[in-house]
Structure 1
């Protein structure tokens, strides 16, 4: 599947707060069978949603295992924080996973955010500006190690001294996904380094503002924004009819508190036809990748309705 261009792709973003590996594997293999083009895991150690003792698998090692047990779907980590691993170590791991997957990796980087793992494991959590500096250096280090025979780099936080990475990734260019939407610094980093920009869907109005900010940064550095694929992660609760969808929404609200930040991530509570209408508003703004956020307990009706009814309608819409 090409990285650039206007090909429309659908995927699932699996939050691996499971208690067994088989639960994660089932979603990925089922997504592949249903025709999704992409599957990703997140990179949290102790995500707040599960509480201080909630289950959560490591993203990088889980990604390797899932890549080995699938054959077609693009495999992604979305997104890795350089605060967890030295950027050179992460680049080596990514190159290895590209081999494991047969050249299907799309590697995500971000600045990192709230995670109970920092406090529980004693991992330093720098201020936002420092994390942005570290992200920019991580982008440069990864690309250098993936493409150059010998790499030297002297940054504020990361240094390479005649560094080698072998074997190189199978792909001539691993797509670098950068996740985030801060309009001043983050989108500047996206403009300079990303093959794919990912953000939460939000509203079409808020997405348009962020898209325009990214285009402004691209103009400043002389890069066409069309070189960067636009990816949104969204949630939905779907059913065959509106009455059933309303019932399923009520069930969700009983599980989530009324002020849950997760509610802002839901684009549609309704039928597949309504979801198509909602997503086409984003397609009209240039979105190419639609990533359905899925966390345990897996909403199988929505996963299947998106694949069978929403995906083909959005892909073929004129």
Structure 2
């Protein structure tokens, strides 16, 4: 696969807040059978959504197991943070999973954000400036360890001397995904290092503003913005028609009261046709990856309607 792959890809962002491995595996294998191109976990220790004692399987360990039990779908972390582990450890984890998956890994990193694990487990949580510095240094280290025979690096947070990583990833260039939406700082790092940029879809206006900011950073570092694949994550509630939608939406509102933090992740509450209309402006802004969030309990109705009706329609609009 070339670094940017097909012009348009559709995926599931499953997370890992499942009570059992089999539950998560079922989603991954069914997503692959439905023809999705991509599926991903996050890399939280204790996600703030779901409460302080909810289930959460460990990210890279779970990803390795799921990669071994799938065969065609692209497998990803969306995203990890270097507050959990040294970038050399992250590089080795990524290279190992790339071998396990047969060259299907896309590795995501970011500056990190709220996680109950810092307090519960006593893990240090550096301030945002330090985390951004760690992210920048980590990008250099990951790419160097994946591609060079030896790596020497001296930064504020990390130091490597004659560092080796063998075996290298199977992919000639393992895709590095950087997640985040901060126009001033994170998007500068995206412009310098990312193969893929991922963010929550948010409002169309805010996303357009971020795209413009990314283009400015790319110009400053001498990079073509078209060389960075755009990826959005969102959630949806779909129903075949307006009558079915009414009933499904009422049930959704009972599960997601106005105070629910989950609400902001939902981009679409509608029919497949309305979903296509909602996503088309993002397609016109150059988005290549549309990743449907699927938290447990999985809304299989939406997952299947999206695969069977939304995906073909958007591919048609893209001329694919």
TM-score range, shorter chain: over 0.9
- 2:49 counterpart SS class: helix
Match of 1:162 in 2: 162
Deviations 1:206-259 (A, max 9, x none): 100000000000000100000000000011000101121222122122122312
Match of 2:2 in 1: 2
Q: Distance in 2 between matches of 1:135 and 1:244?
A: 45
Q: Distance in 2 between matches of 1:12 and 1:146?
A: 26
Post-superposition shift, 1:98?
0.2
Q: Distance in 2 between matches of 1:249 and 1:156?
A: 50
- The question of 1:175 aligning with 2:175 is answered yes
Post-superposition shift, 1:260?
2.0
- 1:208 counterpart SS class: helix
Match of 2:40 in 1: 40
Post-superposition shift, 1:3?
3.0
Deviations 1:94-121 (A, max 9, x none): 0000000000000000011000000000
Q: Distance in 2 between matches of 1:176 and 1:282?
A: 22
Deviations 1:38-83 (A, max 9, x none): 0000001111112111100011110000000000000000000000
After the TM superposition, which of the residue ranges 258-267 and 301-310 deviates more from structure 2? Answer: 258-267
Post-superposition shift, 1:163?
0.3
Match of 1:220 in 2: 220
Q: Distance in 2 between matches of 1:256 and 1:309?
A: 25
- 1:29 counterpart SS class: helix
Q: Distance in 1 between matches of 2:181 and 2:4?
A: 20
Q: Distance in 2 between matches of 1:2 and 1:14?
A: 24
- The question of 1:298 aligning with 2:298 is answered yes
Post-superposition shift, 1:6?
6.6
Match of 2:92 in 1: 92
Q: Distance in 1 between matches of 2:179 and 2:198?
A: 5
Alpha carbons 2:3, 2:173 under 8 Å: kept: no
After the TM superposition, which of the residue ranges 104-113 and 5-14 deviates more from structure 2? Answer: 5-14
Q: How does 1:222-237 map to 2 (within 5 A)?
A: 222-237=222-237
- 1:259 counterpart SS class: coil
Q: Distance in 2 between matches of 1:186 and 1:205?
A: 19
Q: Distance in 1 between matches of 2:9 and 2:140?
A: 27
Q: CA RMSD in A?
A: 1.0
- 1:298 counterpart SS class: coil
Q: How does 1:1-318 map to 2 (within 5 A)?
A: 1-4=1-4, 7-318=7-318
Q: Distance in 2 between matches of 1:122 and 1:213?
A: 36
Alpha carbons 1:280, 1:314 under 8 Å: kept: yes
Alpha carbons 2:245, 2:271 under 8 Å: kept: yes
- 2:287 counterpart SS class: coil
Post-superposition shift, 1:5?
6.7
TM-score under structure 1 length normalisation: 0.98
Alpha carbons 1:276, 1:314 under 8 Å: kept: yes
Query: Any gaps of 5 or more consecutive residues in structure 1?
Result: none
TM-score under structure 2 length normalisation: 0.98
Q: Distance in 1 between matches of 2:221 and 2:294?
A: 36
Deviations 1:142-196 (A, max 9, x none): 0000000000100100111100000000001000000001010100000000000
